[in-house]
Chains A and B, each alone.
Chain A
């Protein structure tokens, strides 16, 4: 739980976090980010959207980019589990998120479409997953993914929903 390192960038409105690729480190990073965001005067709606988006992005990195890593973990020493870096940048009513990880590339080198899974009438057929990218695309904008020198680079922007003219 203490693996999340917080690096000050010495610039107001910016923070950098490093975390290991596992679900508990994601939880810890979200807590650190959330605490940091409390120092800005932004709407609770925007703060909660940032928490949702960042959580989904980081969980996807852990579950997909580092999926191979998880399977190989028995044989591997855990000190080389991989790296995830997060930069957050707050300006006015907008939060820019930049995530960099050393995991495997996105399939087709592109971001999932993130369509809302169909919800059938039959309760037993209701999907239990597939909501992550839907939530990211619903709450964030200007998504940009690139693969560079063995790193996944993902940039996205979360705007205050009230100002963006949306009702979330």
Chain B
């Protein structure tokens, strides 16, 4: 499970480098997310641009990654492909996360708010 990590000012941007977040990698993904996000800036952006498929285990791992954040930290999502967006929408998880069209939109919006 390769995750790119960037720190941009007071933001952390995490970009999975693989096409699938599924049952085969869900636990690993959640573990990696915990290591990367611990003690970092408050706003964490998960850029899913490279991800074309998630299943319910992958969805659960993303929810888990949000729940394990420290106090005051938030997880926001960007770059959902139509298939990934569908899974979030059907399960109503699109209401739980702030979702941006793209990484650039996320960065712009967060910068404007601070």
Binding site for B on A (CB under 8 A): 23-24, 26-27, 30, 44, 48, 51-52, 55-56, 59, 62-63, 116, 119, 123-124, 126-129, 131-132, 134-135, 138-139, 168
Contacts of A26 in B (CB 8 A): 22-24
B24, B55, B67, B90 pick with most chain A CB within 10 angstroms: B55
* B72, chain A: closest CB distance, angstroms: 12
Is B63 interfacial (CB 8 A cutoff)? yes
Contacts of B16 in A (CB 8 A): none
Contacts of B87 in A (CB 8 A): 52, 135
Is B92 interfacial (CB 8 A cutoff)? yes
B residues 22-57 in Cβ contact with A at 8 Å: 22-24, 53, 55-57
B23 touches A129 (CB 8 A): no
How far, in whole Å, are A59 and B20 apart by their CA atoms in the complex? 14
What is the size category of the interface that chain B forms with chain A?
Answer: 20 to 34
Contacts of A134 in B (CB 8 A): 90-91
Q: Which of B24, B55, B92, B93 contacts A52 (CB 8 A)?
A: B55
A135 touches B90 (CB 8 A): yes
How far, in whole Å, are A126 and B64 apart by their CA atoms in the complex? 9
Please name 16 pairs of A and B residues whose Cβ atoms are closer than 8 Å in the assembled complex, sorted by A.
Answer: A23-B23, A26-B22, A26-B24, A27-B20, A27-B22, A27-B23, A52-B83, A55-B23, A62-B23, A119-B92, A119-B96, A123-B96, A129-B56, A131-B56, A134-B91, A135-B91
A138 touches B90 (CB 8 A): yes
Is B106 interfacial (CB 8 A cutoff)? no
Extra pairs beyond A135-B91, A168-B90 (11, CB < 8 Å): A51-B83, A52-B86, A56-B55, A119-B92, A126-B67, A128-B61, A128-B63, A131-B91, A132-B55, A135-B90, A138-B90
